[in-house]
Amino acid sequence: MRILVSCANGAGTSLMMKMKVQQALKELGIEIREIRHCSISEGKSAAKNYDVVFCSANFVDMFKDAEAKGVKIIGMKNILSVEEAKDRLKEAGLC
């Protein structure tokens, strides 16, 4: 599975979110082929090349084009919660 984690600036927050998503995937036994973090502006254009995009819940609408192409967009309220990441993965039918 190819995963993109995106936040406003693509620096600290997305890196921390990426680490929490990786932990959630590992705990659920989901194999990761690639996981990358970036800014929203970069993520909007790159999202179509991934299977799943994680972002803050308030940025979900920015990925409508990728979602229309079959990419799963997962918005999180608490971007540092491993439990929420696991819940969202389950809700998306990815495990």
The domains of the chain are located at: 2-91
Q: Which residues are designated catalytic?
A: 7
pTM of the model: 0.93
Confidence of residue 10 (pLDDT cuts 50, 70, 90): confident
Confidence of residue 9 (pLDDT cuts 50, 70, 90): confident
**Whole-angstrom Cα distance, residue 79 to residue 87?**
12
Confidence of residue 12 (pLDDT cuts 50, 70, 90): confident
Provide DSSP, 2-21. EEEEEESSSSHHHHHHHHHH
Question: In the CATH hierarchy, which top-level class contains the domain 2-91?
Answer: alpha beta
- Report pLDDT digits (tens) over 26-77: 999 999 999 999 999 999 999 999 999 999 999 999 999 999 999 999 999 9
What does residue 31 show for φ and ψ, rounded to 5 degrees? -75, 135
**Whole-angstrom Cα distance, residue 53 to residue 75?**
8
Higher per-residue pLDDT: 8 or 75 = 75
